[in-house]
Structure 1
Amino acid sequence: MNPFLNKSVELLAPVGNWDCLRAAVANGADAVFFGIGKYNARVRADNFQMEELPHIMAYLHKYNVRGYVTFNILVFENELNDARQLVTACIEAGVDALIVQDMGLMQMIREMSPDFPIHGSTQMTVTSAEAVDFLAPYDIEVVVLGRENSLKQIKSISNKTETPLEVFVHGALCVSYSGQCLTSEMWGGRSANRGECAQACRLPYDLMVDGERKEMGNIAYVLSPKDLAAIDLVPELIEAGVSSFKIEGRLKSPEYVANVVSKYRKAIDEYTAGSDYRPSVVDIRELEQSFSRGFTHGFLEGTNHKKLLDGTFPKKRGVYLGTVKKILKDAVLCDIEAPLKRGDGIVFDAGRPEEKEEGGRVYDLRKRGEKVPGEIPSGLIEIVPGRHDVNLTKVKVGDKIWKTSDQELENRLRKTFEGEITFKLFPVRIEASGAEGQPLVAKWTDVVNGNSVVVHSERNLEKAMKRPLTKEYLAEQWGRLGGTVFELAQIELQLEGEVIVPVKELNRMRRVATEQLLELRERPRQYKLNEELPLSDKNQRADKETTSELIALCRSMEQIEAACQTDVHYVYADFEFTTDYPAAVEVARKYNKPIALATPRIHMPGENGILNGILKAKPDAILVRSLGAVQYYTSQNLDLPLFGDFSLNIANHKAAELFLGRGLERVTPSYDLNVQQMVDMLEVAPTDQMELVIHQHLPMFHTEHCVYCTFLSEGTDFTNCGRPCEEHRISLQDRVGFSHPVRVDIGCRNTVYNAIEQSGAEYLPQFLQLGIQHYRVEFLEETGEKVKEVLSLYREALDGKRSGGSVWRELKATNQLGVTRGQLVKK
């Protein structure tokens, strides 16, 4: 017998506007998630306004659907008051949960209300049981796991925690770990951690191997994944312990929402009812039609770099029809693999998606010149495009043909959510009693949520002369619930004697009862709301001399050796392979320099051995980069300083205080902050425990997808790729000619670094005035000589012997590609 029969699995749908919301409800979503104004990770969606919250929640609760507000971005210091207002509005409107990324916001919500539900966003980069445990003190109701977790890992996490786990099952995939992509911030000042992703992963890149361009044919989109579609893995996901299935798509159409929600509703219901569910060919095809860049299971079945992306196109395609066999005078001949009819949209794919493509509506279908009526399921067919849509002289034999739209499908989907939703009915139970000379008393109970109302007749019961009240008669009268969301499930009647009341009175009682039950459904959930606490005042800093400590982060033994020969206070080692850390510690000991070793940015189940290996190398401190690593080390009560890195995404003083209160000795602010946002935070945060990175190659993409394995190997993952990363160096060359280095870590994850160094030298006077003592300079591929030169420049600036502007000019003059201020520039 299936042990997962009747298991409650939530289906969570994306809504970017009212049409999408109605589509989600009408097609069976258990819950929806949506944004309010600019404070969410999809600022380009229509989104809703704060004053709409009560109406939205009343509508959702009418149909027993939960509503979650996405506040899944980093919150800057000057936004904390606005954030508090939005949280208060959500509490008062009875929102079912806030989906949160920012740790400071999480802390503030818990201070405001002890019981308001918080969901940990995938932007938190939670990928292990230890990371889930880190969130336990804040009573997180649900945790959204990273899209890189496999089914095996999900099951491992589920077995170690009672916290419900939410997993993405359908929609666009980010190539970078959510919460760890800084590309949009670096190149356009549009942070993905602020809902402004510029989709740099969808751009073409040339693959540079050891400085030479690798010929890739028509493959140029080396970071653009296919779309996730896990509908055929619904049984495995349920059995792995997933509590909520999340669909991506707050920028998508209501027809997309209707389509995807209905398909996953069917899959969940059939499996939990005992059916051996697998999606049909038609189901998959219709999902592809609504939106698809090609479908993939992502990482759910484990890592297979060859299946994650296609590489030849970055945008929606739809359903694959076939390739052009022959060009006719007014048509193309194609052996189609999927149904096609008049009015469908098609596009001809010549392998150059960056250029204008030929496409339009199908005007006619023919076989050997004769028109063919209706839909053609498959086979050799002449496709006649609209005369003004397609220039056939630009179409070539071999071009792929995609079906981009299906008006019949869209019309069918639209009908599901247009007008009032009437199919979703909820059972009521009635208990009625009375006696002659007394009112008829009826208790109506909403079976789903247990709400009850008691309604009395305004006229007393009278002795029945002909037809006394019966259970059947009351069921007939009170069962007429059309136009409401209720249906009569059960009625119990206890009467003394044969009595009657006018039918008009029965109808009134029914109307009053259903109105009151509906009002109870729509009433906001009640939460505790504490008195408003003031945010922290600006730090009072004593006018005293402080020592400015310079820290060098090195990524090679040559750099470690060079840094140790300077007057840096600390050396950090951030090597691709942590197995080389003992040698770095040995060099630091030789020069009597304290050394910290960096953890990977991602912590997966089964990777505690990596963290333990770092301890065995006997460093003087550890640079901690993930929630899982923070939890692993702090739970051991180590007598070893722990420094929190930028990847913890600390963007306000409350987040800084949270991590410092959880055992970190000092923390590094998020790279999402520009100089003004940094100053705003540092005016309030404990600056003696803050560390600033003032020179680096910004790490842009951080991804489970390995470019080395995908394009330099016949293998599919680290077990059979032959380790090309140990033999070669890859860079991705963008459209302007900059080559961005790609480096691998111990977990085979790739980081793409910005080609141009970033310097905050010009802002040093401000940071020094604020009392910052710890300044980090990061190196990537620099020689030992260059390391010494750069550290000397910053040392002179910190000692007041050289201006920040002078450092900037010197770096710009000596660096081949120049230097950038990066995201620090005040926008």
Structure 2
Amino acid sequence: MSAPVTAETPVRRPLPVRPEVLAPAGDWECAKAAIENGADAIYFGLERFNARMRAKNFTVADLPKLMEFLHRRGVRGYVTFNVLVFADELGAAEDYLRAIIAAGVDAAIVQDVGICRMIRAISPDFPIHTSTQMTITSAAGVDFARELGANLVVLARENSIKEIAAINEAQKSLAHPLPLETFVHGALCVAYSGQCLTSESLGGRSANRGECAQACRMPYELVSDGAKVELGDRRYLLSPQDLSGLEVLPDLIHAGVASLKIEGRLKSPEYVANITRVYRRAVDAAMAQVEPALRSGLAPTGNNTFDPAAARYDLEMGFSRGLYTGWFRGINNQELAHARFGTKRGVFLGEVARVGRDHVALKLVASLKPGDGLVFDAGRPDEKEEGGRVYQVDERNGETVLRFGQGDIDFSRVRPGNLVWKTNDPELDRRVRQSYEGDQIRHRRPLHLEVHGHAGGPLTLLARDDDGHVTKAESATPLEVAQKQPLSTERLRDQLGRLGGTPFELGTIENRLEGAVILAVSELNDLRRRLVADLDAQRAAPKRWTMTTTRIANRKLQDDPQPVAADPELIVVIRHLSQLEAAWAAGARTLYAEFEDPKKYREAVVRFRELRGSDSSATLWVAAPRIFKPGEDWILKQVLSCEADGYLVRNYDHLQWFAGRRRRGDFSLNVANPLTAEYFINHHGLERVTASYDLNVAQLEALLQGAPAAWFDITLHQHMPMFHMEHCVFCAFLSEGTDYRNCGRPCDKHDVRLRDRVGAEHLLRADAGCRNTVYNSRAQTGAEFADRLFALGARSFRIEFLNESADELQRTVGRYRQLLRGEITGAELWREFKLINQLGVTRGQLEATPQVIRRKG
């Protein structure tokens, strides 16, 4: 019988791995800022195929020089290849990948399944890091990445620490568990990465192609049951506070996170230096607490010299829309998005108490000094705000009086009650710039030494760095017996530790000299210089990854042409049980159902079987929620229990849960090229996959020319699902609850829409996991392109409905059936729908020439 656990019992935990600090780099100066402030690795994009096309980025030609620079400093470099790649781009993508591998890059961060396959076909050993754009939220997602040959998984930002620990726990029995990476700081996307179609929907600028227009940072009005909900100055309903994992860093380390990623490839070098320095020090302080304690079997105690308050100040001044732990501690919809602004603020200083002719007075809640910049927040950040540099700070009768340069502030626009934010601290900026400007090496990596020898023989010095490079040097003259001042460990440390001007600092030193011996100082200096030079040369050499010469992009996926069905199949997607009979009456014989409440699937299946009678060719397929996270098995069990004819696979867990049943892939799998399609069709056994909504008609034609058209469902008509998010707008703004347990379920009671700045009202829906989807108010059609797609062999076409009435659904289905029979043209259908639908129908993402997006500024 084991001893009882008491408060005094030592808490034994597995020793956590020191996580890498991974910093962003939009250009050379940012790379240097990251290195000098302690980054273990940086990630950066090239001029194509990366999700931050607005950053300066590097070029393929920069890679050899950049990687040599990074490796000399003991820093790893990862290229972001984190976009969907279209069929007609695969050749260019392969050329890029070969150049990346040849340059000795440490890994590629990849979104596209087909690109993962291409990398593995080109090189069996080049590391793949699956991007957060791959929407991996569970252990099944990690398994999927492992099958693709990935070496590390970047989890979705929405995973909590508890969920991260559970995902790691699920891997503990594996011989080679995949390391997990998570974003720890920076701008927090409100939508799941890889699942946001907002920029694409509003203007053809795909977030999956690095062209996000940040519609989440714009103001919206909340409309419930047709009436505007008064929310005061809360208008930025989809703009989360910025992520900061500083408070929960020890918990992330204990959960087994291997890499802590800082967002910010569009940010300045000052930002990169500042944030990297804070997290470098925080990780070092956390590990200093953890490692000695855990090695002795005790829970960590003692003092941490790291100053969290000072660190938070630096983070807020770097860039802040408010700092919050995001989803790390679980879901709290009241705190995630304060909704007051979607722009940079900084450190909160207090509220304006009085406004004078040439000054303002307030009670300061944070430090302020002359020269600092501030802004007065009247709750209308989309309008011009008053602000400027403080000229004078006076303490009077318990309040602080602030004065500014003449004419800098229009005091008539400042009101008592305005919030005041410090937006700039020149002293901090100066300190940050000093950390990386110039040629001085500031951040050094440990150099570990072993010293061997005996009198009459040479002194042998072995050196190694933390990346596994090892070198050896021997003295030209033999060791002599020391009459005085032998080479003690202290003397060796003093002489061999003189590493100024090099990227090294002395780490451990093992003195294995036999007896009291001595060697000339000049010889010790020469040994040190030779070792450093040899290690530097080793580190500068490019990594040699295996690479095949066989071209991948041009290979045929299918030698024999597949027979094409003569008649097209019209697939009707319904989202209400009441739409089922209307779809059947309109002639639809293949239905996909996506209901908010999966309990209703059983009723739908029963009714559908009554309608079809003996017609076994008619089928009803059902969809589970797009996202699965640990602990949500109950939802999938409900979906399975309906015993539908087939199931839509929308994420990696569905591949496992629906195995052995008829399965088709939904749009959320992001199938944009033949390599991705083939993987889901041939490796996972899906009957068909839905072509990505990121494809315009030219790209869709390239896909159908590069793979059998019979593999694909093509969506011709829909309300585009724009934001898909963990953030619950219903809970946040129509209740006082924090999540589903105490919100009162307003999603079940109200018709809710988000009204944008041009007056469009976008429908908001919640699924069984309480995740919200915002649907475009305007339906869109690709009817005009149906003939072109039909000519390429496409035969399976989807039309999707949202809240349409039975009459509207039947009319729409009827006209699309006529279109596919050739009885009307796409142009006729388009013109007719434009007349009968007051909101109009846009040509949608299939249009080759995108619209101009409406965006802030």
Quickly name the TM-score band, shorter chain normalised: over 0.9
Q: 1:353 aligns with which of 360, 367, 381?
A: 381
Instruction: Indicate whether 1:659 and 2:641 are aligned.
Output: no
Q: Which residue of 1 aligns with 2:536?
A: 518
Structure 1 residue 526 displacement after superposition: 2.2
Once residues 237 and 468 of structure 1 are traced to their aligned partners in structure 2, the CA distance between those partners, rounded to angstroms, is 49
Structure 1 residue 188 displacement after superposition: 2.0
- Contact 2:647–2:658, Cα closer than 8 Å, also in 1: no
Residues 646-725 of structure 1 correspond to what in structure 2 (within 5 A)?
A: 646-661=667-682, 662-725=684-747
Cα distance change, pair 129–470 in 1 and its aligned pair in 2 (3 A): closer
Cα distance change, pair 628–14 in 1 and its aligned pair in 2 (3 A): same
Q: 1:366 aligns with which of 374, 385, 394?
A: 394
Structure 1 residue 131 displacement after superposition: 1.5
Residues 300-319 of structure 1 correspond to what in structure 2 (within 5 A)?
A: 300-319=328-347
Residues 218-617 of structure 1 correspond to what in structure 2 (within 5 A)?
A: 218-274=233-289, 280-368=308-396, 380-419=399-438, 420-431=440-451, 440=458, 442-455=460-473, 478-488=496-506, 489-490=508-509, 507-534=525-552, 535-537=554-556, 541=561, 546-592=566-612, 593-617=618-642
Q: Which residue of 2 aligns with 1:374?
A: none
Once residues 465 and 490 of structure 1 are traced to their aligned partners in structure 2, the CA distance between those partners, rounded to angstroms, is 20
Q: 2:29 aligns with which of 8, 19, 43?
A: 19
Provide the secondary structure at the position in 2 that maps to 1:557.
coil
Structure 1 residue 740 displacement after superposition: 0.6
Structure 1 residue 610 displacement after superposition: 1.4
Q: Which residue of 2 aligns with 1:138?
A: 148
- Contact 2:583–2:809, Cα closer than 8 Å, also in 1: yes
Structure 1 residue 487 displacement after superposition: 4.3
Cα distance change, pair 468–542 in 1 and its aligned pair in 2 (3 A): closer
Structure 1 residue 549 displacement after superposition: 0.5
- Contact 2:217–2:236, Cα closer than 8 Å, also in 1: yes
Once residues 560 and 518 of structure 1 are traced to their aligned partners in structure 2, the CA distance between those partners, rounded to angstroms, is 69
Q: Which residue of 2 aligns with 1:372?
A: none
Q: Which residue of 2 aligns with 1:217?
A: 232
Once residues 479 and 780 of structure 2 are traced to their aligned partners in structure 1, the CA distance between those partners, rounded to angstroms, is 89
Cα distance change, pair 474–354 in 1 and its aligned pair in 2 (3 A): closer
Once residues 797 and 231 of structure 1 are traced to their aligned partners in structure 2, the CA distance between those partners, rounded to angstroms, is 57
The one-letter code matched in structure 1 to 2:765 is R
Once residues 22 and 423 of structure 1 are traced to their aligned partners in structure 2, the CA distance between those partners, rounded to angstroms, is 11
Structure 1 residue 468 displacement after superposition: 12
The one-letter code matched in structure 2 to 1:51 is A
Q: Deviations over 1:405-442 (max 9, x none)?
A: 10101111111112322441422425465987x9x574
The one-letter code matched in structure 2 to 1:348 is F
- Contact 1:103–1:655, Cα closer than 8 Å, also in 2: yes
Q: 2:649 aligns with which of 598, 602, 624?
A: 624
Once residues 750 and 379 of structure 2 are traced to their aligned partners in structure 1, the CA distance between those partners, rounded to angstroms, is 28
The one-letter code matched in structure 2 to 1:50 is V
Provide the secondary structure at the position in 2 that maps to 1:775.
strand
- Contact 1:225–1:309, Cα closer than 8 Å, also in 2: yes
Q: Which residue of 1 aligns with 2:91?
A: 81
Provide the secondary structure at the position in 1 that maps to 2:750.
coil
The one-letter code matched in structure 2 to 1:418 is E
Q: Which residue of 1 aligns with 2:208?
A: 193
Structure 1 residue 266 displacement after superposition: 2.4
Q: TM-score, normalised by structure 2?
A: 0.90
Once residues 221 and 492 of structure 2 are traced to their aligned partners in structure 1, the CA distance between those partners, rounded to angstroms, is 75
Q: Which residue of 1 aligns with 2:164?
A: 154
Structure 1 residue 317 displacement after superposition: 0.5
- Contact 1:464–1:500, Cα closer than 8 Å, also in 2: no
- Contact 2:17–2:256, Cα closer than 8 Å, also in 1: no
Once residues 447 and 544 of structure 1 are traced to their aligned partners in structure 2, the CA distance between those partners, rounded to angstroms, is 61
- Number of aligned pairs? 810
Once residues 623 and 262 of structure 1 are traced to their aligned partners in structure 2, the CA distance between those partners, rounded to angstroms, is 46
- Contact 1:134–1:631, Cα closer than 8 Å, also in 2: no
Once residues 495 and 545 of structure 1 are traced to their aligned partners in structure 2, the CA distance between those partners, rounded to angstroms, is 85
- Contact 1:698–1:757, Cα closer than 8 Å, also in 2: yes
Cα distance change, pair 151–368 in 1 and its aligned pair in 2 (3 A): closer
Cα distance change, pair 124–449 in 1 and its aligned pair in 2 (3 A): closer
Instruction: Indicate whether 1:54 and 2:64 are aligned.
Output: yes
Q: TM-score, normalised by structure 1?
A: 0.93
Structure 1 residue 557 displacement after superposition: 1.9
Cα distance change, pair 25–691 in 1 and its aligned pair in 2 (3 A): same
Provide the secondary structure at the position in 2 that maps to 1:361.
strand
Q: Relative to structure 2, which stretch is displaced further, 7-16 or 507-516?
A: 507-516
Q: Which residue of 2 aligns with 1:376?
A: none
Q: 2:765 aligns with which of 724, 738, 743?
A: 743
Cα distance change, pair 736–480 in 1 and its aligned pair in 2 (3 A): closer
Cα distance change, pair 504–753 in 1 and its aligned pair in 2 (3 A): same
- Contact 1:443–1:452, Cα closer than 8 Å, also in 2: no
Cα distance change, pair 485–795 in 1 and its aligned pair in 2 (3 A): same
Structure 1 residue 499 displacement after superposition: 9.5
- Contact 2:347–2:422, Cα closer than 8 Å, also in 1: yes
Q: Deviations over 1:302-354 (max 9, x none)?
A: 11111011112110110111111111121101111000000000001111111
Q: Deviations over 1:331-384 (max 9, x none)?
A: 101111000000000001111111011111101112349xxxxxxxxx511111
Provide the secondary structure at the position in 2 that maps to 1:702.
strand
Cα distance change, pair 310–478 in 1 and its aligned pair in 2 (3 A): closer
Once residues 94 and 31 of structure 1 are traced to their aligned partners in structure 2, the CA distance between those partners, rounded to angstroms, is 14
- Contact 1:453–1:516, Cα closer than 8 Å, also in 2: yes
**Which structure 2 residue ranges, 5 or more long, are not aligned?**
1-10, 172-176, 290-299, 613-617, 850-857
